[in-house]
Chain A
Amino acid sequence: MRGEVAIVGYGETPVSRARVDKGEQRLTAEEYYAWAMELTLNNCGLTKQDFDGQGLGVIGAIWPHSEIWSAEIVQNLGISPKLLLRADHGGASAAALLLQSAFAIHSGLVDIVLCLGADAPMSVQNGSGLRTWRYELDHLIPYGMMGPNSMIAFVMQRHMFQYGTKREQFGKISVAQRYNAGLNPNAYLRNPITIDDYLKSRPISDPILLLDAVISVNGGLGFVVASAKKAKQLTEKPVYLLGFGEKHNYSHGSIYQPDVTVTGVTQAARDAFKMAKAKQEEISFFQPYDDYTAIVLMQFEDAGFCKKGDGGKFVENNDLTLKGDLPTNTGGGQLSAGQPGMAGGFVHVVEAVRQLKDEAGGRQVKGAEFGFVTGLGGLTFGGNLVNSFALILSSEVPK
C-alpha cells in the first residue's frame, strides 16, 4: 500500500475558547462540522456531491447527543456516502480515519473519502459531568484522580526517576512549540514564553505544570483521502501515505505492571518506517501527538530518533523550532494551537499535509519531503496511552 493513497487537501476552522466576553465565537460541534466541510471542499476544489456514493469519515465528540453520532452528522451535512466511517480513538481518531479510508480505497470499495473532525468542548454547558470508563469511575475517581493530568503525571514522574530527565527538558518542548505557534495565525496561544515562564506556571498535578498540558479549544478540521491516481487528477501536490503502523493496548513488559515510560509508538513507528523504506534522519519534520510534553519527549525515543531514556538529552541538544533540524509540531501543536476535543489529532495530520504541499507560509519547512506524524488516544489503566498510530507522509513516492 506504500504510496497507493494520498491526501488531496485539507481545511481548518479558526479555533475558539468560546469566551463570548472576549469576543470569541461560541459554536456547537455540529456547526464546526459544517464549517470544516466547507473549508475542506473549497481547498480541494470538490463539492459535497462528489462524496455521494463515496466515503465519509467522522469522529466521536466529547458530548454527542447520542452514541449514534455519525447518523446525525451525515444527515446534517446532506451527504449520501457508500461508506460511513466513525473513528473512536480519542486523540488518534484522525490517524485512525486516515487509515480506515486508505484500507477502503485499497479494497476498491471507494475512490475518495472526506474525513472530518470537529468538537466543541468549550461550548458544553453543565451536564458535561463525569462520563468516562466504568473502571475510572469506580477505581480512580474516588481517590481524587484528576483525569489525564494525573495519569500522565505518573508517566512523567517515572521518566524523571528512571532516566534522570529534568523539568527543563520537558519545558523546552513547551517553549519550542510556542515559538512555532507564533508563526501560525490560527494558534490560540501565540505569545512567546521562556523556560522561566514554564517553570513558574501553575502546578496542576506534580510534576505536571500548566504549560506541560494542552489547551482545550473548539474547532473543526478535515482532509480528503483518495487513490494516488485520483489525487493526482485533483491536485498538483498530493501528499502520499508512504508508511503507517498502529498498535492498541500496548503494555511494555508485564500486562499487569507495565513500564509506563514506553508507548505503543515503538511498534507503530517501527512498522511505519519499514513500510515507507525511510529512515529517521530523512524526516523533514515531526508532528507528534502532544497532549503533554512528556508524551512528546517519550516519542522521540519510541520512534527511534534517540535511545530509550535519552529523550531529555535529545530535546536539550536539538532545536525543535522551525529553525532546527527536526522542527516539531510546526504549527504549535495542541500545546499552543489548541486541542479541539476529540478532533485534536487532526491538528497533526493537517499541519503535516500543509507543510508537504508547501503551503505553510511563514512557518514553511523548506524542502519538506517526509513528514512523520503520530496519533495517540485513550489512557490505559496503570499505563500510558491505548491507541498508537504512526504515519509517514511524503510529497513524492521514492523508489
Chain B
Amino acid sequence: MTAPILAYEKPIPEITDLTKPFWEAAKRNELVLQNCKTCRKYQWYPRYSCINCGSRNFEWKKVSGRGTVYSYTIIRQVVANSPAFQKDIPFVVALVDLEEGVRMYSNIVGCKPEEVHIGMSVEVAFAQVTNEVSLPKFKPTASKG
C-alpha cells in the first residue's frame, strides 16, 4: 500500500462524473481514453459528445500508453499557475501524440529537460500525487535490449 500523500500543493483536476473512469483507471496505472461506440474514434480531453460524429455513446478503452513528443517547452518562470511549481523549475511540459491518435498535455520525466526533443518516443509513467489522483506523465521509452 502506498502511504497517504500529504500536503500536495499543486493544482489537481476536479474528478467529475465525466472523468471519473479516467482517474479510477489512472489509480490502477492504466491509461484509458474515451472511445466512440458509433465511429470508434478515440478522443482526448473527455467530452460529452464525439468531436468526429457527435455521438454521445462512449466506452473507456485501455490504450498502449506509447507516444511521441510532438512539441515541448521548458518552463522557466511561474506565470498564472501555482507557486508550488517554482521548486521544479526547469521542468518540461510536452504535447504527446499517442499511438491511438490523440494529443495529451503532460510532463516528460525520467530524463533531463535538455534531453527532451521532438519525435522522442515516450511511454506513460503514472505519478501518484494524492490518494485520488495519479497523473499520467511520460518518460523516455525503455531502450529495447
Contacts and interface: CB of A to CB of B under 8 A. Distances in A.
Given A138-B45, A142-B13, A144-B85, A205 B97 contact: no
5 contacts: A130-B11, A138-B13, A140-B105, A145-B93, A147-B79
A261 to B, nearest CB: 10
Identify which of A144, A146, A257, A382 gathers the most chain B CB atoms within 10 Å of its CB: A144
B95 interface: yes
B70 A144 contact: no
A221 to B, nearest CB: 24
Interface string A147-164: 101100111011001000
Interface in B30-46: 41-45
Interface string B60-84: 0000000000111111111111100
A206 interface: yes
Interface of A: 130, 135, 137-147, 149-150, 153-155, 157-158, 161, 202-208, 254-257, 260, 381-382
* Interface pairs A-B: 7 shortest CB-CB: A153-B73, A138-B13, A382-B103, A154-B71, A206-B74, A147-B80, A203-B76
Interface string B75-118: 11111111001001001010101000111111100000000001
Contact of A254 (B45, B77, B101): B101
Contacts of B11: 130, 137, 141-142
A138 B45 CA distance: 9
Given A204-B79, A205-B74, A139 B13 contact: yes
Given A204-B79, A381-B45, A157 B72 contact: yes
Contact of B135 (A142, A206, A254): A142
Contact of A204 (B12, B77, B95): B77
Contact of A382 (B73, B76, B91, B95): B95
Contacts of A145: 81, 93, 105
B10 interface: yes
